[in-house]
Amino acid sequence: MFRLTLSLLTVFLLFTRPALAAGPFEHGWHLNAESSAIRFISIKKGSIAESSRFAAFSGSISELGEARVQIALDSVDTSIDLRNVRMRFLFFETFTYPEAVITARIDPAQLADLAAVQRKQIELPVTLSLHGVSAEVTAPVAVTLLNKDRVAVATVQPIILKLEDFALNPGREKLEEAAGVTITPVGLVSLDLMFDRTAPGSTPVPAGTVTAGAATALESDGDFSREACTGRFEILSRSRSVNFAPSTARLNAGSRDFLESLSDIIRRCPGMVVEVGGHTDSQGKAAWNMQLSEKRAAAVNSYLQSKGIPSERLVAVGYGETTPLVPNDTVQNRAKNRRIEFKVLN
């Protein structure tokens, strides 16, 4: 009788142990990007709200509840091509900061009863890494169990991000100049994410893999039209991302990422000759400024040629202090006047 009882107890434990051990993140979860959305709202002219989205992102939740979502910032989608370009080059500076990363640690105990209640609202501390800055944010989210292998995680209300917290105010100012509007220095971000349980034995999605339908926002392959080329060069001229060591024509390291992106655009504008124009502020003698602007334009020209752009497609011109964007009456204005501009000649 004792042996029979022991055997029954053993069978009971064998059958119940997996159920007892299984947690809400058993086998881990992977983000179903096709069924998810990441959006943000910006406000211009004080009261006009514009909604945009990101088309490419990936993510996962480990068995320990460690969540990670990676967003390809080049996939910003405002529904207008050149506005997308402005967001990439002027605001997010994706040539240097290509992605944003959201990480969080979800306590499994918070969701232990999810199977019974189906939906729970929790306060989720997350870390957002954006534009070279990491900051802690608390996001109220609703977690909804749709079936045993699918869960939805959505923000209950938009997350308010201050642009200054992520060193994005200079980019906002560039957007204001380019679009001729005022932009409120906050962004409202909403997440509507769908996660599927990872099948036992399957290969996890590699970190950083983009799985959403990004074609609608990412640059298409092939050559640009003349209009698209002209618009891009005008926008890139406003980026003020080509910089030099003081009083020299030596490119700083941060300029190279930008020029890599520029060289790709020039290659996709075949047959077009591009002027590389150097400009200075009015500090110092006019002759010295003219010479410096010519040397800086030539330095950019040489770098682009080193990236495979034929010399006959580039014309370096120095303008010195003769064509300021704004009066040279403040430190900020003089910084705007020290610039490299690009334009299509033919």
Residue appearing with tokens 């926002």: 217
- What pLDDT tens digit does each residue of the chain (346 aa) get? 434 343 443 433 333 334 333 578 888 999 999 999 999 999 999 999 999 999 999 999 999 999 999 999 999 999 999 999 999 999 999 999 999 999 999 998 999 899 999 999 999 999 999 999 999 999 999 999 999 899 999 999 999 999 999 999 999 999 999 989 999 999 999 999 999 998 876 665 554 445 444 444 556 678 999 999 999 999 999 999 999 988 899 999 889 999 999 999 999 999 899 999 999 999 999 999 999 999 999 999 999 999 999 999 999 999 999 999 999 999 989 988 999 999 998 7
Give per-residue pLDDT as tens, 74-83: 999 999 999 9
Q: Which two tokens stand for residue 268?
A: 């996709």
Distance CA 308, CA 305 (A): 5
Domain 28-216 has CATH 2.40.128.110: yes
Tell me how crowded residue 288 is: count the other CB atoms within 10 A of its CB.
14
Q: Do 57 and 191 touch, CB atoms closer than 8 A?
A: no
Give per-residue pLDDT as tens, 170-204: 999 999 999 899 999 999 999 999 999 988 766 65
Domain 226-344 has CATH 3.30.1330.60: yes
pTM of the entire predicted model: 0.86
Distance CA 3, CA 9 (A): 10
Could you state, in order of their start, the residue ranges of all structural domains in the chain?
28-216, 226-344
Q: Do 338 and 332 touch, CB atoms closer than 8 A?
A: no
Q: What 8-state DSSP symbol labels residue 207?
A: T
Q: What is the DSSP string of 278-342?
A: EE--SSS-HHHHHHHHHHHHHHHHHHHHHTT--GGGEEEEEEETSS-SS-S-SHHHHHHHSEEEE
The reported pLDDT for the residue numbered 72 is: 94
CA-nearest of 71, 4, 26 to 207 is 71
Which of 241-280 are b and which e, b meaning 16 or more Cβ less than 10 Å from the residue's Cβ? bbbbeeeebebeeebebbbebbbebbbbbeebebbbbbbb
